[in-house]
Amino acid sequence: MEILQTTGRKRQTYKIQLEQSLLWEAALGIAAITNSRLINTLELKESYWSNIREIATEELIKELHYVENHNTWKAILQILHQDRFEKLEEFEEFVEQTGEVNLRFICIPFLGEDMQDIRWKAAKGNLEAVNFLMDYTDDNPFFPEYISFISRVDRAVLKNHLKVVMKLWFKEVLDTQRGQVSQILELDYTTKNEYLKKMESEEFVQWATGGISYLPEPSIHTVLLIPQFCYRPWNIVGDIEGAKVFYYPVSSQSVHPEDRYLPDQITVLKYKALGDEVRLKIVKLLYEEDRTLQELKDRLDIGKSTIHHHLKILRSAKLVVVRESKYSLQEELIRGMAREVEAYLGR
């Protein structure tokens, strides 16, 4: 059946909001150094993190162990979303002045509007609500234990920990790098703001995050993008009331502004991925429609292992994703490659 569009209404999308602050960088640095599973995959080498532990005071090491055991970096991020804190002192004052129930409510992860009432009950100490949220989040690697911890930890202990770990991280880690890191974050924030004026929201999210395709959701009106240096090359994704949050890795140009000839590595990966006849054929086949591995094999008459190798390269460049057991082309990223080259050339 054919449909004639007569309403003149465009598909709803979200608005983009950009924020940058050393407070976000501190919270994510604390998260990174206490994440033993991911730390070896970060661009900042293991020696960088080992050096921090070697020069850290016993007090900071103690607080980092507490973070590692209870994932309280999540609580810090949740609190930072409550206001646009510009200084560490503002964060500390907010933590100190927030009442027990409100503090627990803020720290418990946002799980959707339909879960807000249960979230409030859990914050008030309702054991049934706490257990419900733990069961509801059992597919998350740390949410259940974290929710259990937040619901029972002594308020004074939690407040002191959150203030102390942030204060010590600033004093012992960030203060020695403040100028460099601030410059990196500010440069990336300024550059992204300039390109935000030229791009549609969904295209911009894909470009800024290096390939994440985020489609509008009914309850999400804002996408908040926060540049981070310490967790490169990873994107960290979060949810808050009414918004999706991407703590995205800053570009290589922002890290090394003195080298005007340095291309962004994700751009290099994309062009390398397309620099092969077989992979270009795969891209054209996926441009026509999503296909399974078997369908690609039948069309190309190449062994599955070979095709899988080429798909792995295309996926590492974020040009191809898997959706419902089929490979799908990220068309907007393909179209945006010319814009990335223009940005690199300095136009």
| pLDDT of 252 over the 50 cut | yes
- Kindly report the average pLDDT of the chain as a whole number: 91
Q: What's the whole-number mean pLDDT along residues 162-179?
A: 95
Q: What are 247's strand-pairing partners?
A: 226, 236
| pTM of this structure | 0.82
| pLDDT of 286 over the 50 cut | yes
Q: What are 171's strand-pairing partners?
A: none
| pLDDT of 9 over the 50 cut | no
Q: Could you give the CA distance from residue 229 to residue 186 in angstroms, rounded to a whole number?
A: 11
Between 7-16, 43-52, 126-135, the lowest mean confidence (pLDDT) is in 7-16
Cα 129–Cα 113–Cα 240 angle in degrees, nearest 5: 100
Q: What are 239's strand-pairing partners?
A: 244
How sure is the predictor about 46, in pLDDT bands with cuts at 50, 70 and 90?
confident
Q: What's the whole-number mean pLDDT along residues 166-182?
A: 94
User: pLDDT, tens digit, for every residue of 83-100?
Assistant: 999 999 999 999 999 999
- Where b means 16+ CB within 10 Å and e means fewer, 108-142 reads bbbbeeebeebbbbbbeeeeebbebbbebbeeeee
Q: What are 237's strand-pairing partners?
A: 246
Q: Could you give the CA distance from residue 119 to residue 130 in angstroms, rounded to a whole number?
A: 8
CATH 1.10.10.10 occupies which residues in the chain?
265-345
Contact 96, 167 (CB under 8 A): no
Secondary structure element (H or E) that encloses residue 326, with its range: strand 326-329
Portion of the chain with pLDDT greater than 70, in percent? 96
- Where b means 16+ CB within 10 Å and e means fewer, 185-199 reads bebbbebbeeebeeb
Helix and strand tally (H, E) in the chain? Answer: 18, 6
Q: Hey, how many other C-beta atoms are within 10 angstroms of the C-beta on 59?
A: 13
3-state secondary structure of 211: coil
Q: Could you give the CA distance from residue 291 to residue 305 in angstroms, rounded to a whole number?
A: 16
Which residue bears the tokens 């209404």? 9
Q: Could you give the CA distance from residue 140 to residue 318 in angstroms, rounded to a whole number?
A: 24
User: pLDDT, tens digit, for every residue of 196-241?
Assistant: 988 889 889 988 998 888 888 888 899 999 999 999 989 999 999 9
Secondary structure element (H or E) that encloses residue 240, with its range: strand 236-240
Q: What is the dihedral of CA 162, 166, 168, 169, to 10 degrees?
A: 140
**What's the sign of the alpha-carbon dihedral 269, 332, 315, 41?**
positive
Q: Could you give the CA distance from residue 83 to residue 118 in angstroms, rounded to a whole number?
A: 23
Contact 84, 19 (CB under 8 A): yes
First-to-final CA distance of the chain: 46
Overall fold of domain 265-345: Arc Repressor Mutant, subunit A (1.10.10)
The pLDDT score that the predictor gives to residue 156 is 96
Which amino acid, 78?
Answer: Q
Q: What's the whole-number mean pLDDT along residues 61-72?
A: 98
